[in-house]
Amino acid sequence: MLLETRDAPPFYKNGYVLACEQTREGVIIDPGDEVDQLLNVVAEQKLQVRMILLTHAHVDHVAGTAKARAACGAPIYLHRDDLPLYEATLQQAAFFGLDIEAPPPVDHFFDPSASLAFGNYEVRVLHTPGHTPGGVCLLVGPAGHPGKKVFVGDTLFAGSIGRTDLPGGDHDTLIGSIRGVLFTLQDDVEVYSGHGPKTMIGQERRTNPFLVGRGR
């Protein structure tokens, strides 16, 4: 699978392009300030973007959604519980002194019971509230096989966890999502976060100071 990561100021949030190396079909995950870089990858690799997938609706994860939608024509997916946040994107941006283009309407709400396909790969949607009410993690792998890469937004980081002091955040819910959803995955699943370096489920299970000692 083709996998490219980009970030940009002011938030240095990771945006992702994933694509099938055979069919050239792909997805964009969380287009933010780095959206131009992500679109450059799409153009250079001659990809056909099938979906724009949002792990949650904080402004740093959706600031580039309008540009991505206009460039690719791909539908936008979000969890229904984050729609109020998404609809308040301009207010979020104003809080940080930013002027951004209003995001287009959401095309589809995630259905956790169904997988999403691009080329020979599929995406399983895992609802992981806590950082936001509609936060999701996206488990990606070859169609019909357990995914080995999970894109977690701001739910889990290398050695840390998502903040819960913003509207809609809840610490106990976040811990429950990590323990009850992400930590049911195998140790060798690679974790791609919204900020910072990638890690592994096993590494975080064993060493994350916010989670070690809280029970298995």
Cβ 81 vs Cβ 125: under 8 Å: no
Tens digits of per-residue pLDDT, 38-60? 999 999 999 999 999 999 999 99
pTM, full prediction: 0.97
Q: 153-176 b/e with 16+ CB inside 10 Å = b?
A: bbbbbbebbbebeeebbeeebbbe
Please give the pLDDT value at position 216.
41
Cβ 150 vs Cβ 185: under 8 Å: yes
Please give the pLDDT value at position 213.
73
Q: What secondary structure letter does DSSP report for 186?
A: -
Per-residue pLDDT of the chain (216 residues; tens, 9 = 90+): 999 999 999 999 999 999 999 999 999 999 999 999 999 999 999 999 999 999 999 999 999 999 999 999 999 999 999 999 999 999 999 999 999 999 999 999 999 889 999 999 999 999 999 999 999 999 999 999 989 999 999 999 999 999 999 989 999 999 999 999 999 999 999 999 999 999 999 999 999 999 997 544
Amino acid at 53: L
Please give the pLDDT value at position 215.
45
How far is it, in rounded angstroms, from Cα 135 to Cα 211?
19
Cβ 77 vs Cβ 30: under 8 Å: no
Cβ 146 vs Cβ 72: under 8 Å: no
- Residue ranges per domain, the chain? 2-207
**Coil, helix or strand at residue 87:** helix
**What is the SS3 string spanning 90-118?**
HHHHHHCCCCCCCCCCCCEECCCCCEEEE
Q: What is the enclosing helix (H) or strand (E) of 6?
A: strand 2-6
Q: How far is CA 16 from the centre of its chain?
A: 8
Domain 2-207 has CATH 3.60.15.10: yes
Tens digits of per-residue pLDDT, 101-135? 999 999 999 998 899 999 999 999 999 999 999 99
Cβ 103 vs Cβ 54: under 8 Å: no
Please give the pLDDT value at position 183.
97
Residue with tokens 């984050």: 82
How far is it, in rounded angstroms, from Cα 20 to Cα 54?
19
